[in-house]
Structure 1
Amino acid sequence: MKVSILFLLICTAILVVGARADAPDKTDVVVKKVQEYVKQATEAVKTAFTTVQESEAAQQARRWLSDNANLVKQQLARLKEQLAELWKLTPTS
């Protein structure tokens, strides 16, 4: 979940709780409800991130990246050399 979505949910919760408050002296109740909602939303996001990080797909992706990091570095070095050679062949004005 992106931070902007979480921020939008928090703002929406504040508006909803604020609309439900009947009197101005209930601001403490509103604040507590918003704090509870934010705590629940934070826990839900943490759980979701943990689930994604521990998923088999994420583990496979990390293994693939670590296994292929050297190959990617070699390809980037070769591309850099090719671009340098191309730059040398380009006529100057």
Structure 2
Amino acid sequence: MKDGIHPNYRDVCFVDLSNGFKFVTRSTVTTKETIKLDDGREVPLMKLETTSESHPFYTGTQKSIDSLGGRVEKFRTKFARAGIPGKK
């Protein structure tokens, strides 16, 4: 095999920010942070917004978040005037 063409795989800890779920797998991702695991190893840390532990497709639940303060309501009002029926 040629030298210098293969990626540098190493153990990386991925953390789901929505529920704290952690898993370790081999990856080439570049990170700035590290985490010390329960077994004493210090590995790079990659923070994720969602994983299979929190994604609605895998969990079977759905969250409705209106974090922008009424944007959904503005959308519904706008299209209610256009004559498109909405949920009642």
Report the structure, 1 or 2, having the larger helix content. Answer: 1
- If you compute each CA radius of gyration, which structure gives the higher value, 1 or 2? 1
Same fold (TM over 0.5): no
TM-score (norm 1): 0.25
TM-score (norm 2): 0.26
